[in-house]
Amino acid sequence: MFRDESKSVVRKAVATSTHKNKQERSRRTAIPERKPVRSELGLAVEQDFDFNSDPQHVFLMRQLGNYPLEVQPSYELDATKYEAVCYLLRSNAIPSSFWTSEIISNFLIQGGGTAGQGAMKASVVATATAMLSRVRGLPSLDDIARREYGSALRLLNAALADIEEAKTNQTLGAVIMLAIYEVITSRAPESIDSWTNHINGATALLDLRGTDQFKTRTGLRLFLYLRYQITISCLQRDARVPESLLQRTDIVMFLDTAEDHGNRLVMIIGKLSNLRADIHTNTYKNEQEVISAALAVEADLIAWLAALPSEFNYTTHVSSPFDLAIKKQFRGISPYDDQYHVYPTSWVCSSWNQYRSARIIVSQIILFRVRKLSENSSPASLSEELRVQCRTLRTTIRRLALEICRSVPFHFNVHLVASESNLPPPESYIGGLVLLWHLFVAGVVESPQHRLRRWVVKCLEMIGKSMGIDLALAVADIVAANPGVLYPVTEEEDTH
């Protein structure tokens, strides 16, 4: 329940008096007044929201600590952990139709004494307290998060020892939450290996689950969410996407046109990942073969764009540089060039950025290979058509990077600031997780001195410091040091 009790929670964490704890729990079960409240973080809660009618609050108070003795974690669920999990669910709904707070809620509310259920609950508490620890700067919460992480790993190992339990949604959900925990707590770039290990483990579980996972709505959404994460992981590591993942995708049936379109996009991104893997292993005989393969992927992306349904339409808006309300909602940052996009849903926004990032990467491959061709041959051997295409690619890359930047404020609900409602716009902290990859791709396009690069670094630092996502700070360091995709410029690429 959200009352402005941040200070009392801190006091309770270090208090030794049982009497005080009982009083605090008694006070937290009271019906909160219907009035605007604001935490130390400045997070506003809707004026007319009745917490006792909120199903998330109800099941948290009733179910979250309901562990049977055989899988009981080594902690007593207290108000601090309740607040952290409420924070995760109410403020961190992942903007994807494939993985939402609704799914997390279903996992938590399900009864049963299985190890997978216990692992899921412990992993949620670990992730929630780790994020809240960073946002509020409370090391004591970080200690709790590490203990919960250890409990989740022990319970997960127990679940994986039973083949039937390993196939459950709860076990797979626990692996996903532990992967998110690694993103939240990974400050050093090399720490991303822990996230990769969890994603690899999830890949093995998807293979074990077979086609039965598509029979339930939750199972299908878990598969689709993980499929994208696995694909991005492969793309980052220059690895091939598991063939079993692509084969299972072919049998998934979508009733929604937008989801079907998004499914085709992820398949194209899978082809792009395989292209990078083949380049890494020197599968192609020469630069021309690489360029031809990259042009084929680019053609698929262009065809995907041409077939976009109306559900993917978005609008561009201009804000005043003196609009303090928008700047406040955007954590002190103004939209880049004072322009931002508004999309029908967060999932549509994420799909657009998936396309933009993929198009930037495949364009980068083509440009790099053309540079190598120009180094190994005379400029006269390059066709005029190829030179024109390079100039077009550079323009396209810059435009797509700019569009990614203009999409960022949408994940922070900047578009709701100017609405007619008197209620403050909701927070969406996990939007920061969704943006990390896309901000990296856009940020390394220009030179380190370019203002777009500096704006991206500022956004990543804001996500890391105000949202409690340590990996964002690591990505900010990488982006700041990168020489830039479009640099150096060859004579053949120069637009003059």
Say what the pLDDT of residue 384 is. 75
**What is the model's pLDDT at position 456?**
97
Running along the chain, 496 residues long, what does each successive block of 10 average in pLDDT?
42 44 43 33 31 43 39 52 77 46 55 81 90 86 92 93 90 89 82 79 88 80 85 92 81 67 90 96 92 96 95 92 83 92 90 96 93 70 72 94 95 72 55 90 95 96 88 93 79 46
> What pLDDT is attached to residue 26?
44
Q: Which two tokens stand for residue 454?
A: 């500096």
Q: What is the pLDDT of residues 317-350, one digit of tens each?
A: 998 877 888 888 888 899 999 999 999 988 899 9
* CA–CA distance, 145 with 423 (Å, rounded to integer): 32
Q: What is the DSSP letter of 444?
A: T
Residues near 494 by beta carbon (within 8 Å), at least 6 away in sequence: 391
338 vs 320: CA distance, rounded Å = 7
The pLDDT of residue 92: 56
**Looking at residue 89, what is its pLDDT?**
73
- Is residue 339 classed as helix, strand or coil in its secondary structure? strand
* Interatomic CA distance for residues 480 and 456, integer angstroms: 9
Q: Give the per-residue pLDDT at 31.
A: 31
Q: What's the predicted TM-score (pTM) here? A: 0.79
Quick one: pLDDT at residue 13?
Answer: 42
Alpha carbon of residue 104 to chain centroid = 15
pLDDT of residue 189: 65
Please report, for the chain, the start and end positions of each structural domain, with discontinuous segments joined by +: 73-185, 210-282, 284-495
Q: What residues contact 256, with CB distance under 8 A and at least 6 apart?
A: none
Would you give the DSSP letter of residue 425? P
The values of phi and psi at residue 119, to 5°, are: -65, -40
Query: How far is the C-alpha of 21 from the C-alpha of 66, rounded, in Å?
Result: 19
pLDDT at 86: 77
- What's the confidence (pLDDT) of residue 251? 66
